[in-house]
Structure 1
Protein backbone atom coordinates (compact mmCIF):
# COMPACT_ATOMS: atom_id res chain seq x y z
CA UNK A 1 0.00 0.00 0.00
CA UNK A 2 1.46 3.36 -1.01
CA UNK A 3 1.55 6.37 1.30
CA UNK A 4 -1.12 8.08 -0.84
CA UNK A 5 -3.34 5.01 -0.61
CA UNK A 6 -2.84 4.89 3.16
CA UNK A 7 -3.74 8.58 3.37
CA UNK A 8 -6.85 8.04 1.25
CA UNK A 9 -7.92 5.09 3.42
CA UNK A 10 -7.29 7.01 6.64
CA UNK A 11 -9.23 10.04 5.37
CA UNK A 12 -12.15 7.92 4.17
CA UNK A 13 -12.28 6.05 7.46
CA UNK A 14 -12.10 9.21 9.57
CA UNK A 15 -14.75 11.06 7.57
CA UNK A 16 -17.00 8.00 7.62
CA UNK A 17 -16.70 7.69 11.39
CA UNK A 18 -17.32 11.42 11.87
CA UNK A 19 -20.38 11.21 9.63
CA UNK A 20 -21.73 8.31 11.70
CA UNK A 21 -21.14 10.24 14.92
CA UNK A 22 -22.97 13.26 13.50
CA UNK A 23 -25.89 11.04 12.48
CA UNK A 24 -26.12 9.79 16.06
CA UNK A 25 -26.64 13.37 17.26
CA UNK A 26 -30.00 13.76 15.55
CA UNK A 27 -32.80 13.84 18.11
CA UNK A 28 -35.24 15.80 15.99
CA UNK A 29 -36.21 13.51 13.13
CA UNK A 30 -37.09 10.17 14.66
CA UNK A 31 -37.42 7.12 12.45
CA UNK A 32 -36.01 8.71 9.29
CA UNK A 33 -33.38 6.92 7.23
CA UNK A 34 -30.22 8.59 6.00
CA UNK A 35 -31.72 8.72 2.49
CA UNK A 36 -34.83 10.45 3.84
CA UNK A 37 -32.75 12.96 5.80
CA UNK A 38 -30.56 13.57 2.75
CA UNK A 39 -33.68 14.08 0.64
CA UNK A 40 -34.93 16.73 3.07
CA UNK A 41 -31.54 18.41 3.00
CA UNK A 42 -31.50 18.40 -0.81
CA UNK A 43 -34.95 19.99 -0.87
CA UNK A 44 -33.77 22.59 1.64
CA UNK A 45 -30.95 23.58 -0.70
CA UNK A 46 -32.61 23.15 -4.13
CA UNK A 47 -36.40 23.23 -3.82
CA UNK A 48 -38.67 22.72 -5.55
CA UNK A 49 -37.55 19.48 -7.18
CA UNK A 50 -39.22 16.83 -9.29
CA UNK A 51 -39.14 13.27 -7.94
CA UNK A 52 -36.80 12.16 -10.76
CA UNK A 53 -34.32 14.89 -9.77
CA UNK A 54 -34.59 13.89 -6.13
CA UNK A 55 -33.95 10.23 -6.95
CA UNK A 56 -30.93 11.12 -9.05
CA UNK A 57 -29.44 13.25 -6.27
CA UNK A 58 -29.46 10.35 -3.80
CA UNK A 59 -28.73 7.68 -6.41
CA UNK A 60 -31.88 5.62 -6.01
CA UNK A 61 -34.65 4.46 -8.34
CA UNK A 62 -37.72 6.62 -8.92
CA UNK A 63 -39.96 3.96 -7.35
CA UNK A 64 -37.93 4.08 -4.12
CA UNK A 65 -38.09 7.88 -4.13
CA UNK A 66 -41.85 7.68 -4.51
CA UNK A 67 -42.01 5.70 -1.25
CA UNK A 68 -39.78 8.26 0.47
CA UNK A 69 -41.94 11.13 -0.79
CA UNK A 70 -45.06 9.39 0.51
CA UNK A 71 -43.49 8.88 3.94
CA UNK A 72 -42.23 12.47 4.18
CA UNK A 73 -45.58 13.82 3.03
CA UNK A 74 -47.38 11.70 5.63
CA UNK A 75 -45.00 13.17 8.25
CA UNK A 76 -45.98 16.67 7.02
CA UNK A 77 -42.37 17.49 6.09
CA UNK A 78 -42.97 18.06 2.38
CA UNK A 79 -45.72 19.28 0.09
CA UNK A 80 -46.48 18.39 -3.50
CA UNK A 81 -46.81 21.26 -5.95
CA UNK A 82 -48.48 20.79 -9.36
CA UNK A 83 -46.33 22.00 -12.25
CA UNK A 84 -47.60 25.16 -13.88
CA UNK A 85 -46.32 24.10 -17.30
CA UNK A 86 -47.20 20.38 -17.29
CA UNK A 87 -50.20 19.28 -15.25
CA UNK A 88 -48.93 15.67 -15.29
CA UNK A 89 -45.84 16.63 -13.28
CA UNK A 90 -45.66 17.27 -9.57
CA UNK A 91 -42.78 19.06 -7.88
CA UNK A 92 -41.90 18.61 -4.23
CA UNK A 93 -40.98 21.29 -1.72
CA UNK A 94 -40.32 21.41 2.01
CA UNK A 95 -43.20 22.35 4.24
CA UNK A 96 -42.60 24.90 6.99
CA UNK A 97 -42.36 21.95 9.40
CA UNK A 98 -39.84 20.19 7.14
CA UNK A 99 -37.67 23.30 6.99
CA UNK A 100 -37.86 23.60 10.76
CA UNK A 101 -36.74 19.96 11.12
CA UNK A 102 -33.76 20.45 8.78
CA UNK A 103 -32.76 23.61 10.65
CA UNK A 104 -33.04 21.83 14.00
CA UNK A 105 -31.08 18.80 12.78
CA UNK A 106 -28.27 20.99 11.47
CA UNK A 107 -28.24 22.95 14.72
CA UNK A 108 -27.98 19.74 16.79
CA UNK A 109 -25.10 18.46 14.67
CA UNK A 110 -23.29 21.81 14.76
CA UNK A 111 -23.69 22.04 18.54
CA UNK A 112 -22.26 18.55 19.06
CA UNK A 113 -19.37 19.19 16.69
CA UNK A 114 -18.60 22.56 18.29
CA UNK A 115 -18.58 20.95 21.73
CA UNK A 116 -16.28 18.16 20.51
CA UNK A 117 -13.89 20.68 18.92
CA UNK A 118 -13.80 22.79 22.09
CA UNK A 119 -13.29 19.76 24.33
CA UNK A 120 -10.80 17.77 22.24
CA UNK A 121 -8.66 20.25 20.29
CA UNK A 122 -6.01 22.78 21.22
CA UNK A 123 -5.83 26.21 19.61
CA UNK A 124 -3.12 24.91 17.26
CA UNK A 125 -5.29 21.87 16.41
CA UNK A 126 -8.19 24.18 15.52
CA UNK A 127 -5.99 26.13 13.09
CA UNK A 128 -4.84 22.86 11.54
CA UNK A 129 -8.43 21.63 11.30
CA UNK A 130 -9.47 24.83 9.54
CA UNK A 131 -6.69 24.26 7.01
CA UNK A 132 -7.80 20.64 6.59
CA UNK A 133 -11.37 21.77 5.90
CA UNK A 134 -10.08 23.95 3.05
CA UNK A 135 -8.21 20.96 1.64
CA UNK A 136 -11.28 18.74 1.96
CA UNK A 137 -13.30 21.34 0.05
CA UNK A 138 -10.80 20.97 -2.80
CA UNK A 139 -11.28 17.19 -2.75
CA UNK A 140 -15.05 17.61 -2.82
CA UNK A 141 -14.75 19.64 -6.04
CA UNK A 142 -12.75 16.91 -7.83
CA UNK A 143 -14.75 15.27 -10.62
Structure 2
Protein backbone atom coordinates (compact mmCIF):
# COMPACT_ATOMS: atom_id res chain seq x y z
CA UNK A 1 0.00 0.00 0.00
CA UNK A 2 1.38 3.38 -0.99
CA UNK A 3 1.68 6.19 1.53
CA UNK A 4 -1.21 8.08 -0.11
CA UNK A 5 -3.51 5.08 0.25
CA UNK A 6 -2.30 4.40 3.79
CA UNK A 7 -3.10 7.94 4.90
CA UNK A 8 -6.58 7.72 3.34
CA UNK A 9 -7.25 4.35 4.98
CA UNK A 10 -6.04 5.64 8.36
CA UNK A 11 -8.30 8.70 8.08
CA UNK A 12 -11.29 6.57 7.09
CA UNK A 13 -10.65 4.15 9.95
CA UNK A 14 -10.33 7.00 12.43
CA UNK A 15 -13.61 8.50 11.28
CA UNK A 16 -15.49 5.20 11.42
CA UNK A 17 -14.00 4.23 14.77
CA UNK A 18 -14.84 7.61 16.29
CA UNK A 19 -18.39 7.32 14.91
CA UNK A 20 -18.81 3.87 16.49
CA UNK A 21 -17.60 5.16 19.87
CA UNK A 22 -19.85 8.19 19.60
CA UNK A 23 -22.84 5.94 18.89
CA UNK A 24 -22.01 3.74 21.86
CA UNK A 25 -21.64 6.78 24.14
CA UNK A 26 -24.93 8.24 22.90
CA UNK A 27 -26.63 5.03 24.01
CA UNK A 28 -24.92 5.20 27.42
CA UNK A 29 -25.91 8.80 28.19
CA UNK A 30 -28.73 11.28 27.80
CA UNK A 31 -26.20 13.94 26.81
CA UNK A 32 -25.41 14.84 23.20
CA UNK A 33 -21.99 14.19 21.71
CA UNK A 34 -21.10 17.89 21.95
CA UNK A 35 -22.15 17.89 25.60
CA UNK A 36 -20.05 14.81 26.30
CA UNK A 37 -17.07 16.30 24.45
CA UNK A 38 -17.50 19.38 26.65
CA UNK A 39 -17.56 17.27 29.82
CA UNK A 40 -14.47 15.28 28.80
CA UNK A 41 -12.56 18.48 28.05
CA UNK A 42 -13.45 20.03 31.41
CA UNK A 43 -12.45 16.77 33.11
CA UNK A 44 -9.09 16.79 31.32
CA UNK A 45 -8.30 20.46 32.05
CA UNK A 46 -9.81 20.78 35.52
CA UNK A 47 -11.30 24.16 34.72
CA UNK A 48 -11.67 26.17 31.55
CA UNK A 49 -13.34 29.19 30.03
CA UNK A 50 -16.65 28.79 28.19
CA UNK A 51 -15.18 30.53 25.12
CA UNK A 52 -12.40 27.93 24.99
CA UNK A 53 -14.99 25.15 25.18
CA UNK A 54 -16.94 26.71 22.31
CA UNK A 55 -13.79 26.85 20.19
CA UNK A 56 -12.78 23.26 20.96
CA UNK A 57 -16.25 21.86 20.24
CA UNK A 58 -16.67 24.10 17.16
CA UNK A 59 -19.95 25.63 18.26
CA UNK A 60 -20.98 29.23 18.90
CA UNK A 61 -20.44 30.85 22.28
CA UNK A 62 -24.21 31.32 22.80
CA UNK A 63 -24.76 27.59 22.08
CA UNK A 64 -22.05 26.69 24.58
CA UNK A 65 -23.70 28.99 27.12
CA UNK A 66 -26.94 27.02 26.73
CA UNK A 67 -25.11 23.71 27.17
CA UNK A 68 -23.36 24.98 30.29
CA UNK A 69 -26.61 26.35 31.70
CA UNK A 70 -28.21 22.90 31.29
CA UNK A 71 -25.19 21.17 32.88
CA UNK A 72 -25.19 23.59 35.78
CA UNK A 73 -28.91 22.94 36.35
CA UNK A 74 -28.12 19.20 36.26
CA UNK A 75 -25.51 19.76 38.96
CA UNK A 76 -22.56 18.43 36.95
CA UNK A 77 -20.63 21.69 36.47
CA UNK A 78 -20.02 24.76 38.56
CA UNK A 79 -18.91 28.25 37.64
CA UNK A 80 -15.86 29.74 39.33
CA UNK A 81 -14.87 33.42 39.02
CA UNK A 82 -11.37 33.78 37.54
CA UNK A 83 -8.82 34.94 40.09
CA UNK A 84 -7.02 37.28 37.68
CA UNK A 85 -10.12 38.88 36.14
CA UNK A 86 -13.43 38.80 38.02
CA UNK A 87 -15.31 39.42 34.75
CA UNK A 88 -14.27 35.97 33.53
CA UNK A 89 -15.80 32.76 34.79
CA UNK A 90 -14.25 29.32 34.56
CA UNK A 91 -16.29 26.15 34.59
CA UNK A 92 -15.28 22.96 36.35
CA UNK A 93 -16.95 19.68 37.15
CA UNK A 94 -18.75 18.97 40.38
CA UNK A 95 -18.20 15.61 42.04
CA UNK A 96 -21.31 14.37 40.21
CA UNK A 97 -19.85 15.60 36.93
CA UNK A 98 -16.54 13.83 37.56
CA UNK A 99 -18.41 10.63 38.40
CA UNK A 100 -20.45 10.93 35.19
CA UNK A 101 -17.32 11.37 33.04
CA UNK A 102 -15.60 8.44 34.74
CA UNK A 103 -18.69 6.27 34.15
CA UNK A 104 -18.78 7.29 30.48
CA UNK A 105 -15.07 6.54 30.12
CA UNK A 106 -15.61 3.15 31.77
CA UNK A 107 -18.49 2.47 29.37
CA UNK A 108 -16.17 3.17 26.43
CA UNK A 109 -13.56 0.83 27.88
CA UNK A 110 -16.15 -1.92 28.45
CA UNK A 111 -17.46 -1.51 24.92
CA UNK A 112 -13.96 -1.93 23.48
CA UNK A 113 -13.13 -4.79 25.83
CA UNK A 114 -16.21 -6.61 24.53
CA UNK A 115 -15.77 -5.61 20.88
CA UNK A 116 -12.15 -6.67 20.44
CA UNK A 117 -12.56 -10.41 21.11
CA UNK A 118 -15.92 -10.44 19.28
CA UNK A 119 -14.42 -9.08 16.07
CA UNK A 120 -10.76 -10.16 16.15
CA UNK A 121 -8.92 -13.46 16.28
CA UNK A 122 -6.16 -14.04 18.84
CA UNK A 123 -3.59 -13.39 16.11
CA UNK A 124 -5.30 -10.12 15.14
CA UNK A 125 -5.44 -9.04 18.79
CA UNK A 126 -1.68 -9.63 19.07
CA UNK A 127 -1.15 -7.60 15.89
CA UNK A 128 -3.31 -4.79 17.27
CA UNK A 129 -1.31 -4.77 20.52
CA UNK A 130 1.93 -4.45 18.59
CA UNK A 131 0.50 -1.61 16.48
CA UNK A 132 -0.46 0.59 19.46
CA UNK A 133 3.08 1.97 20.07
CA UNK A 134 3.43 2.72 16.36
CA UNK A 135 0.07 4.51 16.26
CA UNK A 136 0.98 6.48 19.38
CA UNK A 137 4.04 7.83 17.54
CA UNK A 138 1.68 9.48 15.06
CA UNK A 139 0.06 11.59 17.77
CA UNK A 140 3.08 12.42 19.91
Confirm or deny a common fold (TM above 0.5).
Answer: yes
Map 1:1-143; keep pairs closer than 5 Å.
Answer: 3-26=2-25, 27-30=27-30, 32-141=31-140
* Cα-to-partner distance string for 1:40-66 (whole Å, 9 max, x where unaligned): 001111011111222232233323322
C-alpha separation in 1, matches of 2:39 and 2:106: 15
C-alpha separation in 1, matches of 2:98 and 2:23: 20
Deviates more, 1:109-118 or 1:53-62: 53-62
C-alpha separation in 1, matches of 2:61 and 2:139: 26
TM-score by length of structure 1 reads 0.84
Deviates more, 1:13-22 or 1:102-111: 13-22
C-alpha separation in 1, matches of 2:28 and 2:124: 31
Deviates more, 1:13-22 or 1:58-67: 58-67
**Shift in Å, 1:34:** 1.6
Query: What is the DSSP-based 3-state SS (H/G/I as helix, E as strand, rest coil) of the residue aligned with 2:35?
Result: helix
Deviates more, 1:42-51 or 1:11-20: 11-20
C-alpha separation in 1, matches of 2:21 and 2:15: 10
TM-score by length of structure 2 reads 0.86
User: What CA RMSD, in Å, does the superposition of the two structures yield over aligned residues?
Assistant: 1.9
- Given that 1:28 and 1:101 are in contact with CA atoms closer than 8 Å, whether structure 2 keeps it comes out as no
**Shift in Å, 1:4:** 2.1
Query: What is the DSSP-based 3-state SS (H/G/I as helix, E as strand, rest coil) of the residue aligned with 1:25?
Result: helix
